[in-house]
Amino acid sequence: MLGYGVPVTRLDASVPRRPLAAALDAGDEVLLLGLTPPRESVSAAEAARIAEVTLSRLAGVELDGLVLYDIDDEGDRNPNQRPFPYLPTMDPAAYHAGHLAAWRLPVVIYRCVGKYPAADLSQWLDAVDTGQVMAVFVGPSSSTKPVRTRLDEAHALRDRLRPSLTLGGVTITERYTRRGDEHLRMLAKQDRGNSFFISQVVYHVDATKSLLSDYFYACAQRGARPRPVLFTLSVCGSLKTLAFLRWLGVDIPRWLENSLSRSADPLTESYEQCLANARELAAFCRRLGMPFGFNVESVSIRKAEIDASIQLAKEVRTLLR
């Protein structure tokens, strides 16, 4: 039976929190929740129903904002069969504007810029409400993938058309493990105007701590202020979800993979591990003096895993100052 750890204690609602952009700039410990928009094929009525159910789920979670992902076909990056089939999803900006009007807190909208012609990105940048919307620009999943707009072109459009748009970047521990230069990539993105980072799903905490340490001290060496890193946590409730995390490139320690694949209740086991990882990363960042936060998501559309991610977000909130 899924117990989800210790009971959650609500924070004092009378204590105001800064808006997300200001909180990130001040180094506050923030909490986001990541969502994938509905499939592109759903009707407007179904999209509205999904949004209503989603907002109802979020009503009891003390979030600083949402993350809306932009899903692209990454078959060029990984030729192995995708455990869950790729289904095009709604443009996250259109889903936000058309169906999440009742959500009053900030939203971080991912943009896989290679999918969009420069004219479409320009139109969005012209219209975006920078008081509520922030963005993460994502490049192609491989160097051979055809693109309509390159990442450097998207940054140039933002600088010219909407420099007030708060921009974040992606950081990937597994890339650091393979190449050893992810902290330098973060510094380069910081120089391009990225004011925060959101990680790929984190299960390998030791490697992530090494990346953070290298980034923090590289910033110190250059006299640069380290930008907040928001660690993505995602529960794993089935062997298929485990396979999908691996397909996405998430490095899961062998001991944990063995435990999850043999457990009678992998959802509870992964939940407890995500919570332990959050505690360890929070303690490490506080000792280091590194600004941080968390982004909780579910890579599965199974109700049990979505519900567990909501509960995980509630419990992670109690860990944050």
What is the β-pairing status of strands 30-35 and 229-234? unpaired
Instruction: List the beta strands (DSSP E) in the chain.
Output: 30-35, 65-68, 107-112, 133-138, 167-171, 194-201, 229-234, 292-297
Of the pLDDT bands very low, low, confident and very high (cuts 50, 70, 90), residue 5 is very low
The amino acid occupying position 5 is G
Query: Tokens 């139109």 appear where?
Result: 123
pLDDT at 105 over 50: yes
Percent of the chain that is helix, strand, coil (3-state, to 5): 45, 15, 40
- For residue 78, name the pLDDT band (cuts at 50, 70, 90): low
Confidence of residue 13 (pLDDT cuts 50, 70, 90): very low
- Residue type (1 letter), 244: F
Cα–Cα distance, 29 to 35 (Å, whole number): 20
Residue 159 is encoded by which pair of tokens?
A: 């600088």
The number of CA neighbours under 13 Å toward the Cβ of 77 is: 12
Q: Does 261 have pLDDT greater than 60? A: yes
Which pLDDT score is estimated for 76? 60
pLDDT at site 77: 58
CATH number of this structure's domain 20-317: 3.20.20.220
How many Cα atoms sit within 13 Å of 179 on the Cβ side?
11
Q: What is the pLDDT confidence band of residue 86, given thresholds at 50, 70 and 90? A: confident
Least reliable range by pLDDT among 30-44, 141-155, 297-311: 141-155
Whether this prediction's pTM lies above 0.85 is answered by yes
User: Comparing 9-23, 239-253, 273-287, 303-317, which segment has the lowest mean pLDDT?
Assistant: 9-23
